[in-house]
Amino acid sequence: MITTSPRHRRARRVVSLLTTAGLVATAAVALAAPAHAGTTLGQSAAERGRYFGVAIAAGRMNDGTYMGIVDREFDSIVAENEMKMDATEPNRNQFNFSNGDRIVNYALGKGKKVRGHTLAWHAQQPGWMQNMSGQSLRDALLNHVSRVASYYRGKIHSWDVVNEAFADDGRGSRRDSNLQRTGNDWIEAAFRAARSADPGAKLCYNDYNTDGVNAKSTGVYNMVRDFKARGVPIDCVGFQSHLGTTVPSDYQANLQRFADLGVDVQITELDIQQGSNQANAYRQVVQACLAVSRCTGITVWGVRDTDSWRTGANPLLFDGSGNKKAAYAAVLEALNAGGGNGGGNNGGGSSSVDTNAWYVLVNRNSGKALDVYNLSTADGADIVQWSRNNGNQQQWQFVSSGNGSYRLKSRLSSKVLDVYAKSTANGAEVVQWPDNNGANQQWNVSISNGYATLLNRNSGKALEVQGASTADGGNVVQYSAWNGANQQWQLVKVG
Ligand code: G3I
C-alpha cells in the first residue's frame, strides 16, 4: 500500500522535451549474454557464484526420498545437530565424531561443500559442561574448539564458531550464559582458537533475530566492527533467518551493512512460515542475497516440511512427500533471474539487459525499489524509492534508443524516466514523462559486479537516491557519478 511521503512535493510545469545535441560521452554499455538457467538450486546458485545448502540429520540418511532430494538439489551440507558440543564431546575430552563423519563424508564424497555448526553455544552443551564456570570452563571451551576444528581441518568451508551469543533484550546486549560469565572476551578467544586449528575455514558468528536492522543485529554489528578493527579473526556473519510470514524490509540493507565491514554474509538456517506469502518471502531472501556481493550462500534448515524443527509451520521448500512447493519454484526462479554479482566463490554472475523483460531496480544502498510515486500516471510524477513490492509502479522495461542507450518505461504509466526540463544540474529531479526519445530520457547502462549505473545521456549524470536516503519516498535525482552505493542499481527481472 502506497502512502504519502513526508517529502515536500513540487508542482510541475508541463514542458516539451526535445532531444539536445550536446551529448556527453559515457561508458559504453557492456551487456553479457543471459546466464544459463540452472535446473536445481545448487546448480543455479553456483551460476551466481553462491552455494545453496541444506541442514540434514544423520538419522534420516537411510530415507531414499530425503537423500534423493539432498543429492539432487544442494551443493552444501550442514549437520542439523551432529556437530554440536553435546554430540562431539559427550564426555569431557572424549570426542565422538561418528555421526558428524557420516554427514561430512557423505557430502565430500558427493563433491558437496560442508558448513560446520557449531563450535561454541550456550545450548546443547554436554551435561559435564553445563555446570562449569570460570577458568576451567574457558579452558574446556577452547579445548573443544581446538579439537573439533582440528579434526575437521580442511573439510569445512565455513564454521559457525560462536552461535547465538546475543540476547533478545532490545538493547543489543550479550546473552547471559555460563560462557559469557567466563569474561566478555570468550567470543574472540574462541575465534582465535578456531583460526589456529583450521586456518583455511571461514570463521562465522551466527545468530537469529538479526535479520533486519534492530538492536540485536546492531549489537552483533558493533562486535564485528570491533573485531575487524582489532584484528580478531572473523570472516563471516551468519543470519539464521528463521522467519515468520514476512521478510524484514531492511533485510538486504542489513546484510549490506555487515558486508561493508569487510566480512562475508551467509543465510544459514532459512525457513519461512507457511502462508500465502511464503513463496514471495523466499524469493525476497534470495534476491537480497544476490544483491549483496559478499552474500556467499544460502542454507535451508531442513529438506521437507516434515523434517523441520518447526512442527506445523511447514516452512521448507518440499512438502512431506518430497514434492517441490511453490516456494521452491520461487527460489529457483529468483536464482535464475540473476542479479548475481560474484559472491565469494566463483565470480561472474548475470549482467544482461533483456528488452522484452520487466525489471525492478533495487538500490544497492537502501535495498528499495525505483518507484513511480503514489501510483501516478501523470506527466511529471515524481520518481522515488519505496520498499519493494513488485507492483507495476516498480516495474521498468529497457527500450533501446538504437545508440547503445535505453529509456526506462514504466509498466504502470508507459511513461519513461526523464530528467526534468533537460536539466544538467546536480540534484535535478527525475520524473516520468511521455516517451519522446529525448537525450534526457536516455540512459547509458554500465554493469559492474552485478550493479548497474545509469548515466543520463544529456547530462552525463548518474541516477541516484538523493542523500543516500534509505527511507521510503527517498527522492531519486541525477548527480555526478561517483560510484556510490546509492548510484548503483540491481536489475531484478520480474516479468
Ligand atoms: O533424537 C532425540 C530423541 O531420541 C528423543 O526422544 C527426543 C526427546 O526430546 O529428542 C531427540 O533429540 C532432539 C534433536 O533435536 C533431534 O531431533 C532434541 O531433543 C532437540 O532438542 C533437538 O532440537 C534441535 C535444536 O536445534 C536444539 O539443538 C533441532 O533439531 C535443530 O533443528 C535446532 O537447530 C537450531 C540451530 O542449531 C541453531 N539455531 C536455531 C535452530 C532451531 O532451533
pLDDT tens per residue across span 209-218: 999 999 999 9
CATH number for the region 41-337 comes to 3.20.20.80
Contact 51, 73 (CB under 8 A): no
Q: Which three cell numbers stand for residue 5?
A: 511521503
pLDDT at position 32 over 50: no
As a whole number, mean pLDDT of residues 19-31 equals 34
Question: Measured from the CB, is residue 80 less than 6 Å from ligand 1?
Answer: yes
Q: Whose CA is nearest to atom 36 of ligand 1?
A: 80
Question: Measured from the CB, is residue 97 less than 6 Å from ligand 1?
Answer: no
Where in the chain are the domains? 41-337, 359-493
As a whole number, mean pLDDT of residues 318-328 equals 98
Residue type, 3: T
Lowest-confidence region among 18-27, 145-154, 200-209, 454-463: 18-27
Helix and strand numbers, DSSP H then E, in the chain: 11, 21
Question: Measured from the CB, is residue 345 less than 6 Å from ligand 1?
Answer: no
In the block, residue with C-alpha cell 516520468: 432
Instruction: For the beta carbon of residue 81, count every other beta carbon within 10 angstroms.
Output: 16
Report CA(97)–ligand 1 centroid distance (Å). 18
Report CA(81)–ligand 1 centroid distance (Å). 7
pLDDT band of 402, cuts 50, 70, 90? confident
Report CA(214)–ligand 1 centroid distance (Å). 27
d(CA 337, CA 94): 48
d(CA 82, CA 91): 15
Instruction: For the beta carbon of residue 285, count every other beta carbon within 10 angstroms.
Output: 27
The pLDDT value given to residue 339: 62
d(CA 437, CA 17): 9
- Give the H or E element holding residue 297: strand 295-300
Strand partners, 446: 453
pLDDT at position 136 over 70: yes
Q: Whose CA is nearest to atom 11 of ligand 1?
A: 81
Residue type, 176: D
The pLDDT value given to residue 404: 80
pLDDT band of 414, cuts 50, 70, 90? very high
Give the percent of the chain with pLDDT over 70.
Answer: 90
Nearest atom, ligand 1, residue 301 CA: 32
- This prediction has a pTM of 0.69
pLDDT at position 302 over 90: yes
Residue 120 phi, psi dihedral angles, 5° rounding: -140, 130
80 is catalytic: no
Residue 233 DSSP class? -
Question: Measured from the CB, is residue 269 less than 6 Å from ligand 1?
Answer: yes
Contact 33, 452 (CB under 8 A): no
pLDDT band of 354, cuts 50, 70, 90? confident
As a whole number, mean pLDDT of residues 317-341 equals 91
Contact 70, 47 (CB under 8 A): no
Q: Whose CA is nearest to atom 35 of ligand 1?
A: 80
pLDDT at position 283 over 70: yes
Question: Measured from the CB, is residue 271 less than 6 Å from ligand 1?
Answer: no
Task: Exactly one of 269, 333, 429, 464 is catalytic; name it.
Answer: 269
The pLDDT value given to residue 341: 42
φ/ψ bin of 70: left (φ > 0), alpha (ψ from -120 to 50), beta (otherwise): alpha
Question: Measured from the CB, is residue 124 less than 6 Å from ligand 1?
Answer: yes
Nearest atom, ligand 1, residue 55 CA: 32
Question: Measured from the CB, is residue 151 less than 6 Å from ligand 1?
Answer: no
Report CA(218)–ligand 1 centroid distance (Å). 28
d(CA 330, CA 349): 19
The pLDDT value given to residue 14: 32
pLDDT at position 359 over 90: yes
The pLDDT value given to residue 255: 97
Probe residue for ligand 1, chosen from 309, 310, 311, 316 as the CB with the greatest number of ligand atoms within 8 Å: 309
pLDDT band of 352, cuts 50, 70, 90? low
pLDDT at position 247 over 50: yes
Report CA(383)–ligand 1 centroid distance (Å). 49
Question: Measured from the CB, is residue 210 less than 6 Å from ligand 1?
Answer: no
As a whole number, mean pLDDT of residues 122-134 equals 98
Nearest atom, ligand 1, residue 240 CA: 39
Question: Measured from the CB, is residue 309 less than 6 Å from ligand 1?
Answer: yes
What is the rounded average pLDDT for all residues in the chain?
90
Instruction: For the beta carbon of residue 394, count every other beta carbon within 10 angstroms.
Output: 26
pLDDT at position 411 over 50: yes
Residue 100 phi, psi dihedral angles, 5° rounding: -60, -45
pLDDT at position 8 over 80: no
Nearest atom, ligand 1, residue 124 CA: 28
The pLDDT value given to residue 68: 98
Report CA(268)–ligand 1 centroid distance (Å). 16
pLDDT in tens, 35-72: 468 899 999 999 999 999 999 999 999 999 999 999 99
Nearest atom, ligand 1, residue 302 CA: 32
pLDDT at position 25 over 70: no
pLDDT band of 454, cuts 50, 70, 90? very high
Q: Of 8 and 433, which is predicted with more confidence? A: 433
Residue 248 phi, psi dihedral angles, 5° rounding: -55, 140
Report CA(308)–ligand 1 centroid distance (Å). 10
Annotation: CATH topology of 359-493: Trefoil (Acidic Fibroblast Growth Factor, subunit A) (2.80.10)
As a whole number, mean pLDDT of residues 181-207 equals 98
- Closest C-alpha to 254, from 389, 371, 367, 390: 367
Report CA(105)–ligand 1 centroid distance (Å). 22
Beta strands in 317-460 (DSSP E): 359-363, 369-372, 383-386, 396-400, 406-410, 416-419, 430-433, 443-448, 451-456
Alpha helices by DSSP H, 198-325? 215-230, 251-259, 278-291
